[in-house]
């Protein structure tokens, strides 16, 4: 493994990706960048943006991308834009330049990035960086859904959130045959932190340091938002199995039905028997209602995504709006 081999952390939201990023960022040789959402905002629209060897196309994508509010960890956008214009002559080069720029600011040789939804970008990351490591964070879907139920930016429907767990985990697992793939279970990370972090460091070719598990004296590299503050605290097992208290029997049954055989395939056991048709129908009906309720405030953003895919800031400003759980229209700042 080369000294600069990149590290990517992916997985479903609320699976411990932020916790692992914070742990690795305490290493004196590793800097994991904040969430870039590069696949969604840039790479998936490469046909619309065009060939980045053309400076005009490169300037357009850089200007639009750096205008996104979600890139709140970018402190000097003008300097970054200059670097990207010089180095980002292709989509791989643009992504590499963006992430390495932030690593260089911290003076560390190992660079990496953490966007949970880049699980859907996993195969491309493995092809782009054959010497890198793809860390796939895996967590019990019932605990993931229980956590998502408390997030202001997530769906209210347990069925929709269970499908989201599938959408983020199945693409990453398709890379399990690749040498870059490293699965890490949230449950193991919090119950055996020393052994698991040592295993991760060994795989990365880096020295394990006990200080990686101690948040004291380590200011967060990425400014936290309310739903990531727990990841700044010492590792705890308190949130293991929270679904048993937070979810009803019907909700657990709907989640297990929604993920189907993938629950056992990922190593988790069923707690409920097959749900009744009425329970399934209720889950699907609420999922449809919740999706419609959420999407109505976002219709202008959906239009920009489909008709003007390169207008990233315009799309983002509308897609950040949703009917939150209190029933009020709000910008969640996700």
Taking residues 213-232, what's their average pLDDT? 69
Residue 6 DSSP symbol? -
Q: Confidence class of residue 233 from pLDDT cuts 50, 70 and 90?
A: confident
**CA atoms of 260 and 254, how far apart (whole Å):** 10
Q: Confidence class of residue 320 from pLDDT cuts 50, 70 and 90?
A: confident
Helix (H) or strand (E) holding 103: helix 91-105
110-114, 140-144, 222-226: least confidently modelled range? 222-226
Backbone angles phi, psi at 185, to 5 degrees: -85, 130
Whether residue 197 contacts residue 137, with contact meaning beta carbons closer than 8 Å, is answered with no
**With pLDDT > 70 as the criterion, what percentage of the chain qualifies?**
90
**CA atoms of 226 and 232, how far apart (whole Å):** 11
**CA atoms of 7 and 184, how far apart (whole Å):** 13
Domain boundaries, the chain: 7-331
Residue 221 DSSP symbol? S
77-87 and 91-105 are packed helices; what angle lies between their axes, rounded to 10 degrees?
140
Class of the CATH-defined domain 7-331: alpha beta
pLDDT at residue 110 is higher than 80: yes
Q: Please state the pTM of the whole predicted model.
A: 0.91
**CA atoms of 131 and 7, how far apart (whole Å):** 10
> How many CB atoms lie under 10 A from the CB of residue 328?
7
Whether residue 263 contacts residue 256, with contact meaning beta carbons closer than 8 Å, is answered with yes
- Helix, strand, coil fractions of the chain, as percent rounded to 5: 55, 10, 35
Predicted confidence (pLDDT) per residue in 47-106, tens digit: 999 999 999 999 999 999 999 998 988 889 999 999 999 999 999 999 999 999 988 888
At 221 the pLDDT is 65
**CA atoms of 316 and 334, how far apart (whole Å):** 10
pLDDT at residue 178 is higher than 60: yes
Whether residue 222 contacts residue 36, with contact meaning beta carbons closer than 8 Å, is answered with no
At 329 the pLDDT is 41
């Amino acid at each position: 493994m080369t000294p600069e081999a990149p590290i990517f952390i992916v997985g479903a939201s609320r699976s411990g990706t932020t916790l692992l990023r914070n742990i690795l960022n305490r290493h004196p040789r590793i800097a994991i960048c904040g969430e870039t959402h590069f696949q969604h905002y840039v790479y998936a629209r490469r046909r619309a943006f065009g060939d980045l060897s053309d400076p005009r196309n490169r300037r357009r994508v850089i200007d639009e991308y750096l205008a996104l509010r979600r890139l709140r960890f970018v402190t000097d956008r003008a300097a970054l834009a200059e670097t990207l214009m010089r180095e980002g002559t292709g989509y791989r080069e643009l992504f590499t330049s963006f992430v390495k720029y932030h690593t260089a600011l911290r003076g560390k040789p190992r660079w990496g990035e953490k966007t949970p939804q880049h699980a859907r970008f996993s195969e491309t990351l493995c092809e782009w960086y054959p010497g890198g490591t793809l860390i796939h964070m895996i967590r019990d879907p019932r605990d993931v859904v229980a956590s998502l139920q408390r997030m202001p930016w997530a769906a209210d429907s347990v069925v929709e959130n269970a499908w989201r767990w599938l959408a983020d985990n199945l693409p990453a697992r398709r890379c399990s045959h690749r040498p870059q793939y490293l699965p890490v279970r949230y449950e193991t990370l919090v119950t055996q932190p020393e052994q698991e972090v040592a295993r991760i460091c060994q795989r990365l070719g880096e020295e394990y340091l006990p200080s990686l598990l101690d948040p004291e004296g380590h200011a967060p590299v990425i400014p936290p938002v309310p739903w990531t503050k727990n990841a700044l605290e010492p590792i705890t097992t308190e949130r293991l199995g929270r679904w048993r208290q937070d979810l009803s029997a019907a909700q657990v049954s709907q989640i297990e039905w929604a993920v189907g055989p993938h629950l056992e395939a990922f190593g988790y056991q069923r707690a409920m028997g097959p749900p009744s048709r009425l329970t399934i129908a209720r889950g699907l009906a609420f999922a449809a209602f919740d999706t419609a309720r959420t999407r109505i405030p976002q219709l202008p953003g959906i239009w920009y995504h489909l008709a003007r895919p390169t207008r990233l800031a315009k799309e983002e400003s509308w897609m950040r709006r949703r009917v939150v759980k209190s029933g009020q229209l709000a910008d969640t700042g996700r």
